[in-house]
Structure 1
Amino acid sequence: MRVASIFAAGLIGLCGMASFAAAEGGHTMVTPDEVKWGPAPKVLPAGAEAAVLFGDPTKEGLFALRLKVPSGYAIAPHTHPVHEVVTVVSGAINLGMGETADPGAAKALPAGSFIALPPGMAHFARFDEPTVIQITTTGPWAIKYVNPADDPQKSQ
């Protein structure tokens, strides 16, 4: 899939910055001060930062990724090929379902909120304050914008 391969290429550098604190026994523990932030993948609008906490989003298997966005950040309607589980760590997300970014249809979800989206569900997001979300899913992770012109990679 073209979208997945483009996204995978963008995440290769990000995965190298992953903040792993693995101990014997194969478990991972990461404290907030161990999170290593870097630029978000180019498939996302400019201005976000990302940190891989566990796994590798470019490969098959489970991973956890944090996304830190500024106030006013928005992600146009898009889908993912697999389930996506999101937790709002800080701030708030205005999340809406559908192929059109209708702010009136979005639900405000504050810190502590949980979101589980099935594969192929079109959704969009807007952030009115600085926010950190954690995405847990299986790779390779990909985003397919409903309107291909919304893909930030098209304007680069």
Structure 2
Amino acid sequence: MKIALAGVLAASLIVGPAVLAGSVQAAPDPAALAYKLPDQIAWLGDPVKGPLTFVLWGDPTKAGPYAMLVKWPPHQMSRPHTHPNDRHIYVISGIWWVGTGKTFSPETTTPIPAGSVVTHFAKQFHYDGAKDEPAVLEIVGEGPQ
């Protein structure tokens, strides 16, 4: 349920509001909802050294649930690593490439296209990233305890 709700939120952040020809638009009541259009998302990180991130809610560095967007620039891949808890990933756009194990082998990674879901299990080695095109993910997980 959390993954489905977070996926809808992430999709609405990326896609933005629909614009109808000839319609009159009014700004939504900020007490009822908040939104960011794609050019308003304040991505953090260095696009040369690794993925960019935007936290939707929670704090991935602290105990408790969180959801975040991750944008992998082309030709970027993490090295083998683990996470202390399961992480649930939805691929929003692009092709995300994943591999498992302690040996870094980007040529043997598996392509995961947009619309796919992946679970990284706790304490299991994996690596991932983008090859020829960017990939945008939504990650839902529990921060370290």
Alignment of 1:7-156 (within 5 A): 30=35, 32-33=37-38, 36-40=41-45, 46-128=49-131, 129-140=133-144
What amino acid does structure 2 have at the position aligned with 1:138?
A: E
C-alpha RMSD of the superposition: 2.7
Distance (Å, rounded) in 2 between the aligned partners of 1:110 and 1:72 = 16
Structure-2-length-normalised TM-score:
0.67
Identical aligned residues as a percent? 31
Once the 2 structures are TM-superposed, how far is the Cα of residue 134 of structure 1 from its aligned partner? 1.1
In 2, are the aligned partners of 1:45 and 1:75 still within 8 Å (CA)? no
Rg (Cα) greater in structure:
2
* Count of residue pairs the alignment pairs up: 115
Superposed displacement of residue 29, structure 1: 6.5
Shift in Å at residue 130 of structure 1?
1.0
Contact 1:63–1:138 (CA under 8 A) maintained in structure 2: yes
* AA of the residue aligned to 1:89: I
Q: Note closer, same or farther for the CA distance 1:103–1:58 as it changes in structure 2 (3 Å cut).
A: closer
Gaps of 5+ in 2: 1-29
The TM-score with structure 1 as length reference comes to: 0.63
2:92 aligned partner, one-letter code: V
Structure 1 residues without counterparts, runs of 5 or longer:
1-21, 142-156
In proportion to residue count, which structure has more helix? Answer: 1
